Amino acid sequence: MNILVINAGSSSLKYQLFDMDTESILAKGVCDRIGIDGHLKHTPVSGGKPVYDSDVPLPTHAEAINAVIEKLTSSEYGVIADLAEIDAVGHRVVHGGRKFSESVLIDEDVLAAIEECTLLAPLHVPANLTGVDACRKVMPGVPQAAVFDTAFHHTMPDYAYTYPIPYKYYEENDIKRYGFHGTSHRYVSARAIELLGAGAQGTKIVTCHLGNGSSLAAVKDGKCIDTTMGVTPLEGVPMGTRSGTVDPTLLDLISTIEGGITLRESLDILNKKSGVLGVSGVSSDFRDIEAAKLGGNDRARLALDLFNYQVAKHIGSFIAVMGGADALVFTAGIGENSPNTRKGICSFLGGAGIAIDESKNDVKGEYAEITGAGSSARVFIVPTDEELVIARDTKALVACKA
C-alpha cells in the first residue's frame, strides 16, 4: 500500500510517498512559493532516479499537487507507474479544535468541522485545507485522512487545559490550552516507552520537541497530561522568533512604546521578532547564535541561557507533577542536533536528579541514549518522524473502512 503524506502551508507543500508494506520512503519533496511563482524540489529515494530541482509555475495548490503527481509518475523522476498506485493520502492538519481527538478519514462533515477550527488557527487551517481540496480534485475517490497536531493532547485533564479567564470563553468559543506538535510528542514518547521496555502503564516521560517552534509534553501511562503550548503555538518556552509565555500586559506596553500600533501588530512582534532572535539580535537559528556566542557575543550567550533555563524550568515542573520521570526525550532540529543545548538544559536539572554523559551527548541527528551516571531518568535523543505517524494512521483508517 502506497500512502502520500501532505503537509500544506500557505505558500508551500511538503510531501512524502511511503510504501507502507515496508514503511519505506519512495520519494519526497517540497513545492515552494505557491501563488507567487513556484519551485519544486523532488527527491526520489528508491530506484536511483535523479533529483528534480527547478522553478515551475504554481499559481495554486492544485497545480502544486498536479506537479507532484507528474514527477512521482514520470519516467525520468518517478517512483510509481501511475496515479492508481497511490492508495490513500494523509494530511497534516494543525488544529483539530475540541472536536478531533484522533485522526479521521475526511468527508464533507469532517471538512466542515475542520473549517470551524479556522478561528483558532487562522493562518494554518485554511492552508491545510487547500492541500486537502487540491488532492480531492486531482485524486477523486482516493481516501484522504486528517492527522491533527492537537489530537495527542486531548487527554489532558481539565485543570491543565482550562485558562483562568471567564469560563464562557471555553464554553462558547472553545478557548482552552490545546497544545501542538502532538504527532511528534506521540511518536517520540511511544519510542521511549519501547526503549524503557515494560509497556506504557506506569511510565512517566517528558518529551522536548525543540525546533523553530518548541514545546514540551508530560506523558504519563502513554497519555499526555500537560504541554507547554496553548490555544496557539505562541505559549510556552521561548522559540526561534516567538516569545513563549510572557506577561500579557506586554501587548499594551509594546503598543504604547511603538507609538500606538494595533494589538495585532504587537502580537506580530511577539510571534515574529521575539524569542532567541529578539534577545540575541543575531538570528532565530541556533547554529548562528551558538557561533556568535563562541565569538564573544554576550546577547547570543544570554539568548541561549534563557532558552535553556525556561526549557529546564518546564521539564522540572512536569517531573514534579508526574511524581518523577523515567525518561527525558530530546527531538526536532535543536533537540536532535545541538549537544550544547541539551547540555545547557540538563545543567539546570541536577536538583531534579537528571544527569547526562557528555561524551555520549556529542552526537547529531541520530538516536542515542545519553544518560549520565546516577541519573534518576534515562535521557534519549529520538529523531522525530511525524510523516511516518501520518502514514501509519492513514493506513489504519483505510484498513478499518475496508
Which of the residues are catalytic?
149
Q: Which stretch binds ligand AMP (CB under 6 A): 164-172, 243-251, 330-338, 385-393?
A: 330-338
List binders of ligand AMP among 161-220 (CB under 6 A).
211-212
Residue nearest to ligand AMP (CB): 333
**Quick check: 401 binds ligand AMP (CB under 6 A)?**
no
Sorted by sequence, the CB contacts under 8 Å of residue 95 that are 6+ apart come out as 117, 120, 121, 124, 125, 148, 149, 150, 178
Cell 485522512: give the residue: 145
**Quick check: 333 binds ligand AMP (CB under 6 A)?**
yes
**Quick check: 287 binds ligand AMP (CB under 6 A)?**
yes
Cell 470563553: give the residue: 169
Q: Which stretch binds ligand AMP (CB under 6 A): 48-56, 65-73, 295-303, 331-339?
A: 331-339
**Quick check: 233 binds ligand AMP (CB under 6 A)?**
no
DSSP type of residue 26: E
Q: Which stretch binds ligand AMP (CB under 6 A): 267-275, 308-316, 327-335, 344-352?
A: 327-335
- Contact with ligand AMP (CB under 6 A): which of 161, 286, 307, 330? 286
Q: Which three cell numbers stand for residue 33?
A: 512559493
Length of the chain: 402
Q: 88 forms bridges with which residues in the sheet?
A: 3
Q: Are 117 and 95 in contact (CB under 8 A)?
A: yes
Shortest separation between residue 286's beta carbon and ligand AMP, angstroms: 3
Q: Count residues contacting ligand AMP (CB under 6 A)?
A: 12
Residue (315 or 334) nearer to ligand AMP, CB: 334
Q: Which stretch binds ligand AMP (CB under 6 A): 45-53, 249-257, 266-274, 283-291?
A: 283-291
Residue (143 or 333) nearer to ligand AMP, CB: 333
- Contact with ligand AMP (CB under 6 A): which of 26, 145, 175, 332? 332
Residue (283 or 371) nearer to ligand AMP, CB: 283
SS3 329: strand
- Contact with ligand AMP (CB under 6 A): which of 337, 361, 371, 375? 337
Q: Which stretch binds ligand AMP (CB under 6 A): 11-19, 23-31, 96-104, 285-293?
A: 285-293
List binders of ligand AMP among 239-278 (CB under 6 A).
240
What is each CA distance from 47 to 2, 57, 67, 76, 88, in whole angstroms? 15, 27, 20, 11, 22
- Distance (Å, rounded) from C-alpha 270 to C-alpha 274? 5
Q: 208 forms bridges with which residues in the sheet?
A: 216, 330
Residue (70 or 285) nearer to ligand AMP, CB: 285
Q: Are 341 and 307 in contact (CB under 8 A)?
A: yes
Shortest separation between residue 20's beta carbon and ligand AMP, angstroms: 24
Q: 328 forms bridges with which residues in the sheet?
A: 206, 379
- Distance (Å, rounded) from C-alpha 390 to C-alpha 103? 9
- Distance (Å, rounded) from C-alpha 142 to C-alpha 401? 13
DSSP state letters, 86-97: --EEEEEES--T
> Given the rule CB under 6 A, which residues bind ligand AMP?
211-212, 240, 285-287, 332-334, 337-338, 364
